[in-house]
Amino acid sequence: MRGSKGHLERPRVWFAALALAATALIAAGCGDDESDGGADSDEPITVGLSLPLTGEFSQPGKAAEQGYEVWRDTVNDEGGLLGRQVELIVRDDASDQNTVVADYNALIQKDDVDLLLGTFSSLLNLPASAAAERNRMLYIEPAGGAPEIFERDFQYGPFFTQQATADHQGDLFAEWVLALPENERPKTVAYAVLDDPFTVPVVDALRATFEEAGIETVYDETYPVSTSNFDSIANSVKSANPDMVVNGSQFEDGIGFRRSLTKVGFEPKILFQTNAPSFGKQYSDGVGVENTEGTFFAISHTPEADTPGNAEFVDAFEQEFGEPPAEDAADAYAAGQVLQAAVEGVGSIDDQLALADWLRENNVETILGPLEWEDTGAPIGEFLIGQWQNGNAEIVLPEDAATSDEIIAARPQAE
Amino acid sequence: MTEFIQATAFGLLIGGVYALFASGLTLIFGVMKVINIAHGALLILGAFLAFTLWEQLGIDPLASIVITTPAMFVLGWLIYRTMIGPLRSAPLSSTVLLTFGLALVCEAVMGLAWGNNSRSARPSYFDQSFDLSGIVLPKAQVYASIVAVLVLALLWLFLNRTWTGRAIRAASANVQGAALVGVNIAKVSALTFAVGIATVGAAGSMVSVLYPFLPGSHYIWIARVLSIIVLGGLGSLQGAVIGAMLLGLAEVYTQTYISTAWATAVPYVLIFLVLFFRPQGLMGTRLREDVAV
């Protein structure tokens, strides 16, 4: 019986040993889970983002995706982030405010991503950044410069990776206009503005500056996003006969408005369009290259810019996609660079608030130039001003970033 | 007065083109009681086809309708045979869901084929205008309106002067009655859907020269086109034409005399008022349900 008892006891010993081993394995497994987010893991760092790949903003959304992809490949080719490869998890928000919130919640709670990058347009970044804040995740956005985005006392961002918020994007242009000799300075101005959080603040700031300087407003209208027909708007502008026209436009509307000005036979001496002309060949293809001459625009990036890493980015982009990067692609790449700098600066991805605080205390070299931020995440810098000259989009302001020596003060078509 | 004439001219030119955009949708609803949410996406597909013919072969976008219209007719027939036909007797909500899905697929396919870049054809007249004593008439808009009137006239003749057209109208008025007198409803439905999509081919050619577009542009157009056929009366071709003209005029008058900010809202107030007093739309007819079903 002893033997028998001993025989009966042996399985208990084995069971106990197995249980101990299993417990040790489970504990080890738990340990692995805990170290997933740490610097010692070999697992890729997952970066979640949602983009408007379909719908109204699909054009910049697709460009941003390309920029993010080039950033990921560049980081991975250089050995990764904290020694770990970077993996992007991209969702499509269909240009919809509700979907973008659902996307970021899913990225954080379901996909369990380590880090976030932002979406495109102020309209989408406004709710998306709130979702990130609720989940205590750092939020870095390549677009979304509407001032109200930075008026919410958020702790985890959003950090806007362009040179200035929307209300300061026309500053250098306004300074240039007011510095013109008296006989060349415009006396009257017309404003036609898309009702969009990224365009209205630019024009509001310009209007305030010009009114204070005594430039008379002879036409001032805001048009909704769904506007397709610009002939009657352009005709009303023509009737007002301003010296200068300011068009707060995103893209398709800017092309439509510019085409309509030509159709109704009106060419102002000075034409400023906020965003549309920055789309390069797509703009000149849309309005006709002969109609681009002298048009001013606000822009954050140019492929010719002499900023650290820009030439390498442009080369990598052209190799990957066969064409020069659009501005939106460059902005997304810069957002990736800012995220990378924060992670490398802190040396860990575990404390998202530490990453945000690091960005508040440091500036970051990007392909857009050095970027730094206020505590709110709003950038402190000067937006570039471009002008179409001889069929090319050139940077004309500020002087130290200019790619052209001259500025066309009066558009030749106006003569 | 010049301003009023100018605004009216812009409104009528826009309305003429809108009428063609909406004609296919109302035709399809009239016969099949299908609200084709993919109409806008197919309109943009037609625009991409016309743009490609212009860019690659130099064919004028408005002349390219002789190619885009038959191509879209064939596509419409295929869509009907593979997707819409099997759901003919399904509830309206099923076909709305199906065609919404089709719109998304169409958008994705266009994105893959042409990319997400904005396009617009620029024939020699794209930014030129006729000047009639100070009244500006953009040439592209004038030519597009003329083409739209011609296509709509051909469509009207087809519906009113051919046996096939009469069969379509009979099916539109009363499906059971048409079947009783020997109309093959399945064939008529397939033909109607194909003709409806063919009109989108012609309309897409016009979009390519009048407006910049990309795969996601269809959302704006489906909203506008649906408004037109609701205003005019679902299923009524004349109603679509009148609705389109009213919407075009309302848009331009609002831009000129009220504010551009209200240009897309005021027309919808107009639609609300019309539907309040005539729920069937301007030219829609009320049928007794026991006769119609």
Q: Phi and psi of B120, rounded to 5°? A: -165, 130
Residue-wise pLDDT for A75-105, tens only, equals 999 999 999 999 999 999 988 889 999 999 9
CATH architecture, domain A168-303+384-414: 3-Layer(aba) Sandwich (3.40)
Grade residue A367 by pLDDT with cuts at 50, 70 and 90. very high
ipTM (interface predicted TM): 0.83
Contact yes or no for A252 and B118 at CB 8 A: yes
Residue-wise pLDDT for A135-186, tens only, equals 999 999 998 888 888 988 899 989 999 988 888 889 999 999 999 998 889 9
* Alpha-carbon span A349 to A36, nearest angstrom: 10
Query: Which amino acid is residue A412, in one-letter code?
Result: P
Would the pTM count as exceeding 0.95?
no
Among chain A residues, CA nearest to B17: A229
Contact yes or no for A262 and B115 at CB 8 A: no
- Per the prediction, chain A carries an average pLDDT of 86
CATH number of A45-165+305-371: 3.40.50.2300
Contact of A340 with chain B, judged by CB distance below 8 Å, is answered with no
Residue-wise pLDDT for A5-48, tens only, equals 333 344 444 444 544 454 444 444 444 444 444 445 678 999 99
What is the bridge-based pairing of β-strands A115-116 and A45-51? Answer: parallel
Grade residue A226 by pLDDT with cuts at 50, 70 and 90. confident
Question: Do A94 and A122 contact (CB within 8 A), yes or no?
Answer: no
Annotated domain spans of chain A: 45-165+305-371, 168-303+384-414
Average pLDDT over residues A201-227: 93
Annotated domain spans of chain B: 2-217
CB-CB neighbors (< 8 A) of B118 in chain A: 59, 251-252, 255, 279, 282, 286
A residues 246..285 contacting B (CB < 8 A) = 251-252, 255-256, 259-260, 262-265, 279, 282, 285
Contact yes or no for B256 and A232 at CB 8 A: yes
Query: Per-residue confidence of chain B (293 residues) as pLDDT tens digits?
Result: 788 999 999 999 999 889 988 888 888 887 778 888 999 999 999 999 999 999 999 999 989 999 999 999 999 999 999 988 888 777 878 888 999 999 999 998 998 898 877 888 999 888 889 988 888 899 988 999 999 899 889 988 988 888 888 888 888 777 788 888 888 888 888 888 999 999 998 999 999 999 888 888 888 888 888 888 888 887 788 888 998 999 999 989 998 888 888 887 877 788 888 888 877 777 766 555 454 44
Q: What SS3 string covers B15-50?
A: HHHHHHHHHHHHHHHHHHCCCCCCHHHHHHHHHHHH
Write down the pLDDT at residue B286. 58
State in Å, rounded, how far the first CA of chain A is from the last one: 117
* Alpha-carbon span B82 to A95, nearest angstrom: 30
Place of tokens 């703009």: A283
- Whether A45-165+305-371 shares its CATH topology with A168-303+384-414 is answered yes
Nearest to B116 among A62, A229, A256 (CB): A62
